[in-house]
Structure 1
């Protein structure tokens, strides 16, 4: 089930944790006057800011809390619609709902990211934002989505939970929209079991995000226990333990992506030219994270047959990343029915949720198989493939297994 970072947890992470245990400061806010306090959360934020070229990074407790915080900071709320893809992790939709706004589901194209033409067709007078989800490491078409957002005066937000370390035309994913969100759970590029981050170049949005993630405190709380509270907030803080692991993992990021790229290139070369086989289109081949290799078979029957022989499933049947399988979203099953954003008096739109409502997305996912390169996850349909520790011989063997299965269809 793990993602890339899992395989490279080693002595560096162990040392970070041991140093932290010896210092005994596990809370984000230690004594700034005590040289034993390690400032690992702050260190992580500062290293991401420098490496990614973004002005503000805010470490939080999970990718979901990062999305909720980003949307809260952006001012989304009752009556607002946010366009999200029908192929994404459920948090991309639930985070909208937690802000009392309404997710509007849109089609993906053959990149398995938002279809810009369909996004524009779904804009209504109630639309406030577009959530660009860089699904399974592939950047969205941010040029077209950005142009659409500008044309219609919408916020462009980025969900880069599955694409940490990726880029689009040289700029890091997550840093291009008004706010971006990352995730650091076990399935992601780097991981600390759980964790997340919000990034933005806007100082005002950063201050709002900081207050929301920490009971309304201003960023000045970095060294001050009691200070002015700007808003009523949550407790989405990251602790020093998670940050310590992530500092070590983050310093391996370039090497991780280099290894993923080499593995994927070797595997892909051996299945090129198979009759009827197509590869997912990449909006920026230089910027993807290479965690998965997604292929399309000519039709659903052959895709199902191939997946069964490989011991996996097509993407359509993979689980929690496909809108058809999200019965709690389709039924808007908020824990308190009074919090259903569709029934809020400020909402005047007509968003709907039903199985089969995105035929283009359904057709693509029924023909798609995800081959693991760095993320082994049945929930993504990537139970077959390789991982960071695979030898050249193991990569070659798996590639030949795939070839034989497809050739015998």
Structure 2
């Protein structure tokens, strides 16, 4: 079972898909819509804007495209630096690289998200933006990171791909900065099969992002308008994806409550003990609860318990770990092959090899994720519950986990 939304596919999704088939709307292009027909993509954008209380929403074909469109809209490119956490998904850093900017990795703390103190140490005159990534569905310390961005005149671009519906102090993540990027692929809280969306409170940023995602058109498919005309790509969401995502959005609150109920029960059944404690949460009530993460005092114990459970620690997921991205290290060392659309730096200023962020390496090596609503073997999340688990499943998983921990740490 991938993300929790995948488990909740039902009649509403089928009804919306059939509506697309019946009207044969296979594009969000306004010029191809019959008069009076409300396209699924536009409907989704309006409903997302309302749900997140965000003035502007742009639906795109992936969370990666949402990040790239945001970077383009913000004017971030060659010569600029973007601070990102050492624990992320490769899409986040890929978007920065393809924008022509330079990613600067910062340490995470035991929340598995950006450490604000280390972000401060990474700021240079070239820094243009900070990219908090709400990893594994839990919010970053947005108060501290937002204050740093404000104090230093930096953009705050939230990567909320894994955290649709998460909140921080009662407010949805993805709405704190100049822009927030989300994903709706099958491993996310809600899904359209694929796709993503961008939120922004800024009308000019929305116009630029729209132009970038749709061949330079103005919103919504107009040839003229106010703002900047950009060379654009085709990053649009299709009608079938939007049809499923609209139905899933209607289920989001119920999905989150289901995740959180399962997570509370599993957490209560696996209490903290000597050598084991839950992940730090900056807002426990706002966590999507797709995963339950525990930290051990040392990597050897974490590895031993993971082996007993047939899984692995979070360090062993190369595409989610800065040290597991050899293409990035190669590019910054002067090799142009990993990114064919940019020239590598003549004098690399940053070290991307494993070991460059010792605290991040240590935290990930000691972290074990138990599944709740999300199962992703590559992420190192393949033991635990699914979105369809019962109370009996909770008891069985907790018992197996407690036994494995006791075998390694002692009773």
Output aligned runs, 1:2-21, within 5 Å.
2-21=2-21
CA contact (8 A) 1:321 1:379 kept: no
Q: Relative to 1, partners in 2 of residues 1:32 and 1:193: Cα closer, same or farther, differing over 3 Å?
A: closer
CA offset digits 1:310-367 (Å, max 9, x no partner) = 01001011231011111112222654767445427xxx87222211100000001111
The alpha carbon displacement at 1:15 in A equals 1.0
State the secondary structure of the residue aligned to 1:251: helix
CA contact (8 A) 1:180 1:198 kept: yes
In the alignment, the residues of structure 1 paired with residue 336 and residue 281 of structure 2 have an alpha-carbon distance, to the nearest angstrom, of 35
- Structure 1 segments unaligned to the other structure (5+ residues): none
In the alignment, the residues of structure 2 paired with residue 245 and residue 338 of structure 1 have an alpha-carbon distance, to the nearest angstrom, of 34
Output aligned runs, 1:154-193, within 5 Å.
154-193=154-193
State the secondary structure of the residue aligned to 1:331: helix
2:47 alignment counterpart:
47
In the alignment, the residues of structure 1 paired with residue 336 and residue 234 of structure 2 have an alpha-carbon distance, to the nearest angstrom, of 21
Output aligned runs, 1:325-340, within 5 Å.
325-332=324-331, 335=337, 339-340=341-342
1:368 alignment counterpart:
367
The alpha carbon displacement at 1:68 in A equals 0.5
CA contact (8 A) 1:126 1:349 kept: no
Q: Relative to 1, partners in 2 of residues 1:177 and 1:232: Cα closer, same or farther, differing over 3 Å?
A: same
In the alignment, the residues of structure 1 paired with residue 399 and residue 373 of structure 2 have an alpha-carbon distance, to the nearest angstrom, of 18
In the alignment, the residues of structure 2 paired with residue 124 and residue 227 of structure 1 have an alpha-carbon distance, to the nearest angstrom, of 38
Q: TM-score, normalised by structure 2?
A: 0.94
1:94 alignment counterpart:
94
CA contact (8 A) 2:4 2:373 kept: yes
CA offset digits 1:262-291 (Å, max 9, x no partner) = 000000001114331111101111111101
Structure 1 residue ranges (4+ consecutive) displaced by more than 3 angstroms after TM superposition: 30-35, 226-229, 333-342
1:291 alignment counterpart:
290
2:35 alignment counterpart:
34
Q: Relative to 1, partners in 2 of residues 1:129 and 1:196: Cα closer, same or farther, differing over 3 Å?
A: same
CA offset digits 1:124-155 (Å, max 9, x no partner) = 11111100101111111111111111111111
1:343 alignment counterpart:
345
State the secondary structure of the residue aligned to 1:28: coil
In the alignment, the residues of structure 1 paired with residue 399 and residue 374 of structure 2 have an alpha-carbon distance, to the nearest angstrom, of 20
Q: TM-score, normalised by structure 1?
A: 0.95
CA contact (8 A) 1:78 1:341 kept: no
How many residue pairs align between the two structures?
402
2:143 alignment counterpart:
143
CA offset digits 1:179-204 (Å, max 9, x no partner) = 11000111000111210111100000
In the alignment, the residues of structure 1 paired with residue 205 and residue 406 of structure 2 have an alpha-carbon distance, to the nearest angstrom, of 53
Structure 1 position 75 matched with structure 2 position 75:
yes
CA contact (8 A) 1:67 1:95 kept: yes
State the secondary structure of the residue aligned to 2:75: coil
- Structure 2 segments unaligned to the other structure (5+ residues): none
2:353 alignment counterpart:
354
The alpha carbon displacement at 1:104 in A equals 0.3
CA contact (8 A) 2:86 2:360 kept: yes
Instruction: Note the aligned Cα RMSD (angstroms).
Output: 1.6
In the alignment, the residues of structure 2 paired with residue 5 and residue 279 of structure 1 have an alpha-carbon distance, to the nearest angstrom, of 25
